[in-house]
A and B are shown apart, each in its own frame.
Chain A
Amino acid sequence: MIRASGITVRFGSHAALRDVSLQLDPGQRLGIVGESGSGKSMLGLTLMGMLPSSAKLDGQLHVDGQDMSTAADRQWRSLRARRVAMVFQEPASALNPLRRVGDTVMEPLRLHLRLDRKAAQQRMLELLDETGIQEPALKARQYPHELSGGQRQRVLIALALACDPALLIADEPTTALDAHVGLRITELLVRLARDRGMALVFISHDLAAVARTVDDVAVMYGGEVVERGPVAEVLRAPQHPYTQGLLAARPPLDAGQLRRRLPVVPGNVPAMADLPLGCRFAGRCHVELPRCAATRPSETSLSPGRSAACHHLPDPSI
Chain B
Amino acid sequence: MQVFLLRRSLGFLATLFAVSVIVFLVMNVLPGDPAVTILGIDSTEDARAALRAELGLDRPLWQRYGAWVWDAVRGDFGTSYFFRVPVSELIAERLPLTLPLAAFGMLATVTLGVTLGIIAAAQHGRPGDWAIMLLSQLGIAIPAFWLSILLVLLFAVKLRWLPPGGFPGWDDPVLALRSLILPTAALALVQSAVLARVTRSSALEVMRLDFVRTARATGLAPRRILGRHILPNALVPIVTIVGMQVAGVVTGTIVIENVFYLPGLGRLVFQSIANRDLFTVQALVVLFAAIVVTANFLVDIAYVLIDPRLKGRLA
A touching B, CB within 8 angstroms: yes
Q: Which residues of A contact B (CB under 8 A)?
A: 48, 50, 77-82, 85-86, 88, 90, 93-98, 107-108, 111-112, 143, 145-146, 156, 159-160, 162-163
For B216, list chain A residues within 8 Å (CB).
50, 80
Interface stretch (choices B167-175, B197-205, B276-284, B301-309): B301-309
User: A81 to B307, alpha carbons, bound, how many Å?
Assistant: 28
Name the CB-closest residue of B to A169: B217
For A95, list chain B residues within 8 Å (CB).
211, 214
Q: Does B221 interact with chain A (Cβ within 8 Å)?
A: yes
Q: Does B41 interact with chain A (Cβ within 8 Å)?
A: no
User: A94 to B217, alpha carbons, bound, how many Å?
Assistant: 11
Indicate if the CB atoms of B309 and A143 lie closer than 8 Å: yes
Q: Which of A48, A79, A97, A160 is within 8 Å of B211, CB to CB? A: A97
Q: Does B79 interact with chain A (Cβ within 8 Å)?
A: no
Q: Which residues of B contact A (CB under 8 A)?
A: 209-211, 213-221, 224, 228-229, 232-233, 236, 306-309, 312
Known contacts being A97-B309, A98-B233, is A80 close to B210, with CB within 8 Å? no
Indicate if the CB atoms of B218 and A159 lie closer than 8 Å: yes
B225 to chain A, nearest CB (A): 10
Known contacts being A78-B219, A146-B312, is A156 close to B214, with CB within 8 Å? yes
User: A97 to B232, alpha carbons, bound, how many Å?
Assistant: 10
Indicate if the CB atoms of A98 and B219 lie closer than 8 Å: no
Report whether over half of chain B's contact residues are helix, strand or loop; otherwise say mixed. helix
Name the CB-closest residue of B to A108: B218
For A143, list chain B residues within 8 Å (CB).
308-309, 312
For A88, list chain B residues within 8 Å (CB).
210, 213-214, 217
User: A86 to B214, alpha carbons, bound, how many Å?
Assistant: 8
Identify the 7 closest CB pairs spanning chains A and B, nearest first: A81-B219, A80-B219, A93-B210, A143-B308, A94-B210, A86-B217, A96-B211
Indicate if the CB atoms of B218 and A81 lie closer than 8 Å: yes
For A160, list chain B residues within 8 Å (CB).
217-218
Indicate if the CB atoms of B214 and A98 lie closer than 8 Å: no
Name the CB-closest residue of B to A97: B309
Indicate if the CB atoms of B209 and A80 lie closer than 8 Å: no
User: A96 to B307, alpha carbons, bound, how many Å?
Assistant: 11
User: A111 to B218, alpha carbons, bound, how many Å?
Assistant: 10
For B209, list chain A residues within 8 Å (CB).
93
User: A78 to B218, alpha carbons, bound, how many Å?
Assistant: 9
User: A107 to B214, alpha carbons, bound, how many Å?
Assistant: 12
For B210, list chain A residues within 8 Å (CB).
88, 90, 93-94
Given A81-B219, A93-B211, 19 new contacts (CB under 8 A): A50-B216, A78-B219, A80-B216, A88-B214, A93-B209, A95-B211, A95-B214, A96-B211, A97-B309, A98-B233, A98-B236, A98-B306, A98-B307, A143-B308, A143-B312, A145-B309, A145-B312, A156-B214, A162-B218
